[in-house]
Structure formats: structure tokens, C-alpha cells
Structure 1
Amino acid sequence: MARQEVEFRRGEFSLVAAGPGTGKSLFALNLALHGNIPVLYFSADSNAATQLTRSTAILTGDNIRDVKAKLLGDNFDQYMGRLNKRWWIRFDYDARPTLKDIELKLRSYFEVFGMFPHLTVCDNITNVVGDTPADSAEGFTFGLEAMCEYMSDMARVTGSHVLALHHVVGEFSDGLAPIPLSGVKGKIGRVPNLILTIHKEVDEMDGAILHVSPCKNREGFADPSGNTFSSLVFNASNMQLTDVEDPL
């Protein structure tokens, strides 16, 4: 993705949008785990067991089915040493966090580590309870705009890169075709510094290729049509994403 000048800069706000099950959460989790940076991950869309098994598979390369079996069989100790090396990554599993909840967790992170996280992930932005009622289509869009402005301000104040995950409109929900900027649900393209959309190409080996399109990029290349993208190979056995051109 560096070839398309896509960078997750601290102090900036980005949005990753895709259909359900396309892989946006896995994209964010791989970024959080392999970035080797302090992370606060608001996992409103996935529970602790899901994130623990996915994270373990990504870090170790072990088959996720084996990881789940060891977790359920109370035979998970062999992974603790590897996981403890990522002590600067913290997850919050509140299904409907409020803005005050997010602020409290950020302040708590600072209190414990003496700094704000370098990456803050919100999975998904629509799970966050805002101050604006979404009782109509107009109210939904207005509320999302306000939420984006809040997260953009949060990024500047904390010096964290704030990455929010989001949905797309119905015609792109199957995730099989390039998603343009106009396909982002609520048309909230004004505030984020960077907007990526993800569609997938399924192969015959229970894997997939995720195509990541930079539809908006204030600091580099952008193609609002979504037809220009970088490709990542998704390994379904261990949840890892690798560059499609990476020989490893």
C-alpha cells in the first residue's frame, strides 16, 4: 500500500469501509498487531474470544481451529509468552460505548502507560453512541458527520491515529466489486484524511484476496472510483494478511 502513498499518520483520522464479512476487522487487527506500536482497540463488533483466537493465530501462524480448541480445552498456556510481548495493545469490548466511555478509556491508557496509544481503532463507528439522535436518514448522516468530527479532534488532541471501521450502501454490501467513495454509507467523506474501501476476490482454496482502494487521501494518491487498489492475500487458516506480491 506504500506504493499508493497510503500512510496511517498519527494525529489523523481515517475510515475503512466494506460490506459485512469482507475483512475490514481483520485488516484493522493485522495492522494493530504487526505495527509494533501502542494500540487501543474498541472491539464493539467482536467479543473477547474471537479477538483472542484471531490475534493468536495471526501472531503465531497456527491454524485458528487449533487455537480455538486449545482455548476451549483450557490448554492455552503455550501462547501466553507470545501474547505478553504485545502488552501495549489493549482491547475494550463494550458493545455500545459512549463518547465519554471512549474518553475515559483513553485517559486510563495514558494513566497506565504514560502516553496515549499511537493507534486507536473503533470497530465499528456506528456502534458508538453519539449525542445526535439517528431517528431519520438525515439524522443518521448528521450523527455520523458529528462522530467523524469528534474522532478527528480526538486524533489531534491525543496524537493517535484514529481508524474507524464503517459499512457501505446496499448495492456494494456483497463486497465483490470495487467500492467508490460514494458507496460509503452516509456519504461521510468530508472529514477523514484517508478513506479506504475493501472488496474481495474469493479463491478455490478457502482463502481470498482483499483489494484495498484509497478513495480519499489528502497526503497521496486517491481514486474516488475505487478501481485502483492494492491487493492483500488472506490466509483463512491463520487470519494473516500479506502483500500479494510479497514472496513470503
Structure 2
Amino acid sequence: MTGPRIALIHALEESVAPARAAFGDVWPGAYCFDLLDTSLAADRAQAGRLDEAMTRRFRALAGYAEATSGCGGSTAAILFTCSAFGPAIDAARLTTPIPVLRPNEAAFAEALELGSRVLLAVTFGPSQDALKDELQAMARAAGKSIEVETVLIDGALAALQAGDGERHDALAAECVGRRAAGADVIILGQFSLARARPLVEARVGPIQVITTPHSAARAIRRLVGEAGSPRRTQGPAGGA
């Protein structure tokens, strides 16, 4: 029997495979389907900010995903994998009667359990400040004091989009390795960065490295459960 139906909504083609792989590892019984709008990331980068028009697009995507049914029944939850759109995802969550998860919140919850000095690595420029703000807001809500350093891995995403995954991974390992001293935990903040985890871990030694797809898949599984969840509006996930 096919398990609960989970919508994965992407702004980058490079996020599809890591999300699918994570669910294959964490919850192979779930039926996942993908919605991909590659113009989201380009439009966000060009605009330099999130506006109401972009937020409406996220509400529309969530509404479409929530309204579908078929394999696995009705859609039980939505995972957005695009990390630079937190406020738009939150707006979509308010109008969607099933669990909706931001891409990084489960990984951030894990990181807050592991230490107070966090190195947050990204490959998409607009994600850098947005994710730092999101992590700090989660820490404040949890009553925790943290230090967050961010690093933008220049050239890595372009290499991956050009088909050079090995260069992407090497750039990630080199850049994160140079900045890792003193960190309690490292978050690879893009879904597409998950593939670099083995090289990053080899470079940083005993420092814990968290990737977002597996954290998110575990959180979705808890939210939905094996048999599916009641259709309801979901607030931010707890620890992962």
C-alpha cells in the first residue's frame, strides 16, 4: 500500500534529487511528488526582496499541492525545499489546512540542541541573511543564546548547475573547512549542498554536520505519521 502523499515544492532543479533521496532513506513508504518552478530563484535574486506577488505565488503553489489526490490519498503535508523564501512559506502555511514545512526549520531545531556556535553554509546568496535571521528567531523563541556565522560558498551552485558535482563538493569542503574552527555544529543550508556532506565531514573532523533534506524528511514523518495526519494548519515544527 502506498503511504501518505507528500508534496515537495522546489525552486531549483538541484533540490529535487536530495529531497527524494532523503525520503527514500527516512520514509520509503511515503508517496512523494514534485512541483518545480525554476523561475522562483531567478526572480527572487533579481528582485532582491520578497514582495506580495511572490507571496501569492507561494500560496498558489501550496493550494495546488494541497488540493491534489491520487496515489497515497489526499496530500498529507507539504515540504518547500527553497531556502530563501521563509516569509512567503509562512504566509502559505497560514492558508493551508495541512502541515507545511520550511526547508531549514527541522535542521535548525537539531542544531539548537547540539550547541550555541553555529556555522551556516549556503550556496545561494539571497539565502544567507534570510536563513541567519530565521535561525536566530528560532533560538530566541526557544530561549537560547547563539552565535551564528554564515558563509557563502562562491561558485559552488554554478558548478553544480553546470554538471560539475565534484567541483561543487570540493568548493564546499574547502570553504567550510576554512571557517569551521570554533563551531559546535555546521549546517549545510541548501538541499543541494547535502551531497557535499562526506567531503565536508572529512575536512572538519569531529564537528557535527547537519544537512537539511534528512532533517526535514524526519520532521515530516513525525508530523504526518505512518497513517497520515488530520487536515489542519501546522505551526513551525519542533526538534528533529
TM superposition score normalised by structure 2: 0.39
Q: Of the two, which has the highest radius of gyration?
A: 1
TM superposition score normalised by structure 1: 0.38
Q: Of Structure 1 and Structure 2, which has the larger fraction of its residues in helix?
A: 2
Pick 1 or 2: higher relative contact order, CA cutoff 8 A, min separation 6.
Answer: 1
